A and B are shown apart, each in its own frame.
Chain A
């Protein structure tokens, strides 16, 4: 097995940022800290789960928080940075914009998988969450993936939202349109 080093973690993040049009956090100290966290998690769990989230150690439960996590695209689009701030937008990278503390987008129900299942939430706790977050955590609406195509190069992808940029031709997210055609399969 290849040894996991800060260098390998950095190389992978850089390559991913290039492909998907993101930038790595420009603060060297912060970047180093984020890479170290990813390295520890990769050594501990066998996959680089988000250093700022508690992982369960079970791949099927942590799949959505393996870096780059499922929440990166919507978070960078909305706030200019992902939850842990490893990936940022061009504006943030160039110092034109300071992102706020990015709120947790991962559904609480998925976060709870990292904790012992026996501790079922008390009714009053669920009530308290409604008051604090203004959301009914008992009902989690999961986004539905759709088919999107790049109007510039024709690249097609199946996901909740269009990508930040086209990974093939680098067209902006605005160039993506939803494919609404009903595909019928004739046997």
Chain B
């Protein structure tokens, strides 16, 4: 399953959200980004194929040290675990 893209006027940063389709905090993160017109990509890991999950595991663990959702990565360097409005605002300058 590829990443889904949500377009937005606020596209200065590369924003990637690792999420679960069942997780309310992941939904809130996506909604928060939409409400702020932020362009982002997301992937619902629970709906991915096994091979894809394994790849995501490597990616998430090496970047955040854990496997928690949502994990938002801004510009390939700022890692935000959980739905944290303040951290998201700060990283995105909104």
- Residues on A facing B (Cβ under 8 Å): 30, 33-34, 36-38, 40-41, 51-55, 84, 101, 104, 108, 111-112, 114-116, 118-119, 121-122, 124-125, 128-129, 131-133
Shortest distance from the beta carbon of A128 to any chain B beta carbon, whole Å: 6
B5 at the interface (CB under 8 A from A): no
| A132 engages B54 (CB within 8 Å) | no
The answer to whether A125 and B58 touch (CB under 8 A), given A37-B22, A51-B20, A132-B65, is yes
Give CA–CA (A30, B25) in the complex, Å: 8
Q: Mark B30-47, 1 if CB is under 8 A from A, else 0.
A: 000000000000000110
| B46 engages A54 (CB within 8 Å) | yes
Query: In the complex, which residue of chain B has the Cβ closest to the Cβ of A34?
Result: B24
- Residues on B facing A (Cβ under 8 Å): 20-28, 45-46, 50-51, 53-58, 61-62, 64-69, 81-84
The answer to whether A129 and B25 touch (CB under 8 A), given A54-B20, A116-B54, is no
Cβ of A34: which chain B residues have Cβ within 8 Å of it? 24
Shortest distance from the beta carbon of A144 to any chain B beta carbon, whole Å: 24
Give CA–CA (A38, B45) in the complex, Å: 16
| A125 engages B54 (CB within 8 Å) | no
Which of A40, A84, A119, A128 is within 8 Å of B54, CB to CB? A119
Query: In the complex, which residue of chain A has the Cβ closest to the Cβ of B58?
Result: A119
| A40 engages B69 (CB within 8 Å) | no
Query: In the complex, which residue of chain B has the Cβ closest to the Cβ of A41?
Result: B22
Give CA–CA (A124, B65) in the complex, Å: 11
Among A30, A37, A38, which residue has the most Cβ atoms of chain B within 10 A? A37
A-B contact list, 26 entries, CB within 8 Å: A38-B22, A41-B22, A51-B20, A51-B22, A51-B24, A52-B20, A52-B23, A52-B24, A53-B20, A53-B69, A54-B69, A84-B24, A101-B81, A104-B66, A104-B67, A108-B67, A112-B57, A116-B50, A119-B54, A121-B58, A122-B62, A124-B62, A129-B65, A132-B64, A132-B66, A133-B65
| A129 engages B61 (CB within 8 Å) | yes
| B24 engages A33 (CB within 8 Å) | yes
Cβ of A55: which chain B residues have Cβ within 8 Å of it? 46
Give CA–CA (A101, B84) in the complex, Å: 8
| B23 engages A114 (CB within 8 Å) | no
Which of B25, B27, B54, B84 is within 8 Å of A115, CB to CB? B54
Give CA–CA (A98, B55) in the complex, Å: 36
Give CA–CA (A61, B44) in the complex, Å: 21
